[in-house]
Amino acid sequence: MTSEEVLAGLRAEAGATKHAETSSWVAAQLRQRIADGQLAPGAKLAEEALREALGVSRNTLREAFATLHAERVVTRIPNRGVFVSHPTADDIREIYRVRRLVEPASLLWSPAAPTEPLAAIVREARQAAESGDVPAMANANQEFHRALVARAGSERLDSFMEQILAEMRLVFATMGSHPRFHAPYVEDNARIVELLEAGRPADASALMADYLDRAEQQLLAAVAG
């Protein structure tokens, strides 16, 4: 997606939303676009263009940048501006440390939640894998983790997961469009759904913990390579 398309989307969203002038709303909009892959690692967040598109003051935009900087999804470089971050190996380790606490636990906390939303995402991912659409497969895998945590029914956890997914999108950029990273996890996701449907949330949780360990090692190897 081009920068002009991103700005056009932000402009439309700002015009249709009440209280769009707050820094938390601005941060949420930028975070979502990073999580969706519309803003890639290294992309410059042009202050004046964003301020105009969002219809906010310079101070409001800078407060939003400060929030995203604290979340490690943007980096401010003196005399150059604000850029979408490039995660490091240490960032990957920290992200997965958090994910291992949150995602397996979410499977245990919500065994009675419906599984169909997860199953529908697996079907989308399989279709993408069959057609060789790696970005769509990666998007579906991301959405699976978002929906998995959403089963807990906690707005705070949902908000926290959006931050994690924004960072994960930047991490996945290190893998390029390589299907060998994303494809095996489609079937792991399918197995997790099967275990939940069979009334085995503890086994689903254990599989997710193992899954996250494997993904972390692959990503660390990609960064090192």
Question: Does position 71 have pLDDT exceeding 90, yes or no?
Answer: no
Statement to judge: residues 16 and 97 lie in one domain: no
CATH code of the domain in which 167 resides: 1.20.120.530
> Please, which residues have CB within 8 angstroms of residue 34's CB and are 6 or more apart in sequence?
73, 84, 166, 169, 170
**Residue with more model confidence, 125 or 22:** 125
Question: Does position 128 have pLDDT exceeding 60, yes or no?
Answer: yes
Domain final residue pick, 65, 84, 103: 84
Reduce the secondary structure of the chain to three states and give it as a string.
Answer: CCHHHHHHHHHHHHHHCCCCCCHHHHHHHHHHHHHCCCCCCCCECCHHHHHHHHCCCHHHHHHHHHHHHHCCCEEEECCCEEEECCCCHHHHHHHHHHHHHHHHHHHHHCCCCCCHHHHHHHHHHHHHHHHCCHHHHHHHHHHHHHHHHHCCCCHHHHHHHHHHHHHHHHHHHHHCCCHHHHHHHHHHHHHHHHHHHCCCHHHHHHHHHHHHHHHHHHHHHHHHC
Statement to judge: residues 120 and 199 lie in one domain: yes
Largest CA-CA distance found in the chain, in angstroms, rounded? 57
Give the best-scoring range by mean pLDDT among 1-5, 102-106, 179-183: 102-106
> pLDDT, tens digit, for every residue of 185-217?
999 999 999 999 999 999 999 999 999 999 999
Domain count within the chain: 2
* pLDDT of amino acid 26: 92
Statement to judge: residues 128 and 77 lie in one domain: no
Domain final residue pick, 56, 84, 112: 84
Statement to judge: residues 79 and 16 lie in one domain: yes
* 179 pLDDT tier (thresholds 50, 70, 90): low
* pLDDT of amino acid 176: 54
Q: Which of 186, 188, 173, 163 is nearest to 219 (CA)?
A: 173
81/129 Cα distance (integer angstroms): 38
Domain final residue pick, 31, 50, 84: 84
Rounded to two decimals, the pTM is 0.77
Statement to judge: residues 99 and 75 lie in one domain: no
Statement to judge: residues 127 and 181 lie in one domain: yes
* 174 pLDDT tier (thresholds 50, 70, 90): low
Statement to judge: residues 46 and 138 lie in one domain: no
CATH code of the domain in which 53 resides: 1.10.10.10
Statement to judge: residues 60 and 162 lie in one domain: no
Region 63-89 average pLDDT: 91
Statement to judge: residues 128 and 198 lie in one domain: yes
> pLDDT, tens digit, for every residue of 134-167?
888 988 999 999 999 999 999 999 988 988 888 8
Question: Does position 75 have pLDDT exceeding 90, yes or no?
Answer: yes
Statement to judge: residues 49 and 133 lie in one domain: no
**Residue with more model confidence, 158 or 19:** 158
Q: Which residue shows structure tokens 């380790």?
A: 93
* pLDDT of amino acid 95: 93
Statement to judge: residues 125 and 198 lie in one domain: yes
Statement to judge: residues 151 and 52 lie in one domain: no
121/169 Cα distance (integer angstroms): 18
Q: Which domain holds residue 78?
A: 3-84
144/207 Cα distance (integer angstroms): 15
* pLDDT of amino acid 45: 94
88/94 Cα distance (integer angstroms): 10
> Please, which residues have CB within 8 angstroms of residue 39's CB and are 6 or more apart in sequence?
6, 30, 33, 45, 84
